[in-house]
Structure 1
Amino acid sequence: MSQHRSSDGELEKIETVLLLEGIYRRYGYDFRNYSYASIHRRIWHRIHLEGLSNVSSLQEQVMHDSDAFFRLLGDFFIPVTEMFRDPETFLVFRRDVVPLLRDLPYIRIWHAGCSTGEEVHSMAILLHEEGLLDKTRIYATDINEDALQRAKDGMISIDRMKQYTKNYQAAGGTRSFSDYYDSDHGVVMLKPHLRRNTVIARHNLVTDSSFNEFHVILCRNVMIYFNNKLRDQVHKLIYESLALEGFLIVGGKESLSFTPLADRYETRNSPNRIFRKIR
């Protein structure tokens, strides 16, 4: 009986590999080196919603129906973000990193995997308060076109504003959070002047290359969905994109330990995963 279950599991892995290979060849999205456990959950979520029975039946549907593919793609892109997420990270950035950026004539910051833009908007507010926004260009990229459009629109979820205000205050905000947005008929929009120096564009960390040199790169809670091979590949891209003595900030469950480039960085703040490129 256990051998039968084991063979079923192996068969499902084969089906999953074929599905992801098909998606890559048919649509150009590469999920082949994403964490199996994460992608497996999302595939089965879609299988149940579509009323199907196995991965192969989903593959057949996705290969012949682009609408079905985009429904599955929506399951792969589950945005988890908020304004001033992990407020202490923004507080430490304000206290320890901002003073080192002041001497630069021009600052380039990359939010890789920006989702719907809440953390990008948070950075713009922080830099505005520190008097650095006018000499900063923030690049915000993601693979998800719908999320990018929300980021471009500067839309903020009204039902989260109470939590966002608490986050802002905990992150060392120096003004009233309501100074930074307009509210109209239940829609909250970031004030336009805060978006003026932000470039929002599609970029795929899996398949696209470096496009500039940055003084700060934030890639938070993105690589937790990758397997080791892909994680190392993306770390290489980030390293190549980061200026010497530039700062890399990753998510709370992420680390540079056990990556081939770990010795190229020094740890500036371990609890908040802030590293500096030293070679």
Structure 2
Amino acid sequence: MTTRVHPSAVVEAGARLGDDVVVGPFCYIGDDVEVGDGTTFGAHCSVTGPTRIGRRNRFVGHCAVGGEPQDKKFAGERVELVIGDDNTFREFVTLNRGTGSGGGVTRLGDRNWLLAYVHVAHDCVVGNDCVFSNNATLAGHVTVGDHVILSGFAGVHQFCRIGAHAFVGMGAFVNGDVPPFVMVAQEDYGRPRGINAEGLKRRGFDATRIAAIKRAYRALYVAGGSLEDARSKLAEIAGDSEDVRLLLDFVDSGERPLLR
């Protein structure tokens, strides 16, 4: 199968398309865009560069990919969007490039599912195997670990981090770091509400691993002590659990306040 470009689509001379790429009706592929093998674009998608797209990605329709960052400080400097392999982007997803002051790159990993109207802003870093439901939004400079689920209408404040295997509930607004494995539910702002136990079971975590994560969660959110008290308890538990060590490292490395 060869690359197919619909007659109504526009592909600029500076674009580089791999094998078996499909560009649908009324699409625009700009200069300095690189598209990997097997990637498909449905109708009315636009891709502006510099943008690097990996293999076998699927853009369903009306996606706006590689647009300028929505940041008043952006002055036209060269910045990029980099997308991995095997991702799915549903209708009206928007993905912006980075900023010069924020590292210059917005980056998404592999096998992510971004549903309709999801927005990923400038300088975000998204891991692998994440699911962002309809209208989920990342502000600038957000870091998201692997296997994270953002439910519909969830919003994440700029510079926040979402740890691996976390779950953010529908409509929750996150304005602090969410540790790995933690579930967040909506109040005035999102608040921790236990661990993502069901998601961990589906990914092969056994009862011993989940029990250790639950102990860590209780130390961090239920015991009622200071963050330093919780950190000391996490350090004790981490001696027998790599998962708790991951959580402790997350707590120790943050610049924004922890969501508590």
TM-score by length of 2: 0.27
The structure with the greater share of residues assigned to strand is 2
The structure with the greater share of residues assigned to helix is 1
